[in-house]
Amino acid sequence: MPVAAPTSVAPRKGDRPRGLTTLRKPRTRHSAGRPRRSVLLTLLTGLVLLYTLVPLGWLAINATKTQEGLFDSFGLWFAGDFALFSNIGDTLTYNDGVFVRWLLNTLLYVVLGAGGATFLAVLGGYALAKFNFPGKRGIFALVIGAVAVPGTALAVPTFLMFSEMGLTNTPWAVIIPSLISPFGLYLMWVFAAEAIPAELLEAARIDGASELRTFFTVCLPLLAPGIVTVLLFTIVATWNNYFLPLIMLKDPDWYPLTLGLHSWNEQAATAGGEAVFNLVLTGSLLTIVPLIAAFLLLQRFWQSGLAAGSVKE
């Protein structure tokens, strides 16, 4: 009986032979330019860091020198005598302790101005993020426009308005304008829209909680990172505010630290006024210490607020 010969089937195009493994070429990524980019970014970061730290180091070093050592030694190195503590004592007691008065004024402006601006920004941002009402888009455009307007452009109209009301040369002329923070309002608006789920508000309302109770007990803890971020921005803006007190205040007893140190600097630039130059440097160093302390104390809240929108469940 004849045996049929096996038929061979020609492999089709694209078929992989059985029993054979094909070796794939490893994918090569074009990473030749990455080391150059990293080196360039490192150099740029180093330049920015150097630009930031050199003035701060110069201030810290020269605040330790006596009046004679300021002019007889190299600016970026210490002199023979370490006079930091004596300079601090002279700064706090000079002219009947006027520096302490300026420090208290600045704290007053920060507590009422920056604290009030943060509180209003939290309330406004939460309302704009979680409630729908007519004119909401117009308010959004108004807030964005207010963020784009620099504060110096509004200083003269604000002065004329406060002059008509008789509030110039009073603390209210500095506190009331500081209560308005368009950037803080916009930041809290965006943060509240992402940090507070709508389901959580619905659950609280179904349980019978009022809007105030829902806000203070449920929403406020969730807004803590954003509140700290806005608070830091408003504190720095109010603490470093110079132009507004310059045009609003004439009485040195109501000067903040920025304006008071400027008056000392002008005194040091006159003939015979060089004796207060070391006080200007020491006072400037004392001025930035509370800001550094605030950032260090609130750093963990601020970092959690910056990272809140980067993680999705």
Over the stretch 51-68, which tens digit does the pLDDT of each residue have? 989 999 999 999 998 888
Helix (DSSP H) and strand (DSSP E) numbers for the chain: 17, 0
Mean per-residue pLDDT of the chain: 84
Over the stretch 288-313, which tens digit does the pLDDT of each residue have? 999 989 888 887 776 555 444 444 44
Whole-number Å distance between alpha carbons of 55 and 61: 10
Q: Are 283 and 261 in contact (CB under 8 A)?
A: yes
Who has greater pLDDT, 49 or 275? Answer: 49
The pLDDT of residue 305? 52
pLDDT at 102 over 90: yes
**What domains appear along the chain, each with residue ranges and CATH number?**
61-93 (no CATH), 96-308 (1.10.3720.10)
Q: Are 127 and 219 in contact (CB under 8 A)?
A: no
As a whole number, mean pLDDT of residues 206-233 equals: 90
State residue 4 phi and psi, 5-degree precision. -70, 135
In this structure, of 21-30, 156-165, 171-180, 195-204, the range with the lowest mean pLDDT score is: 21-30
- 47: confidence class by pLDDT, cuts 50, 70, 90: very high
Token pair of 207, please?
């349980």
Q: How far is CA 258 from the centre of its chain?
A: 18
In this structure, of 121-135, 202-216, 247-261, 269-283, the range with the lowest mean pLDDT score is: 269-283
The pLDDT of residue 298? 81
Whole-number Å distance between alpha carbons of 41 and 227: 32
Place of tokens 């260090």: 296
The pLDDT of residue 19? 47
Whole-number Å distance between alpha carbons of 39 and 276: 45
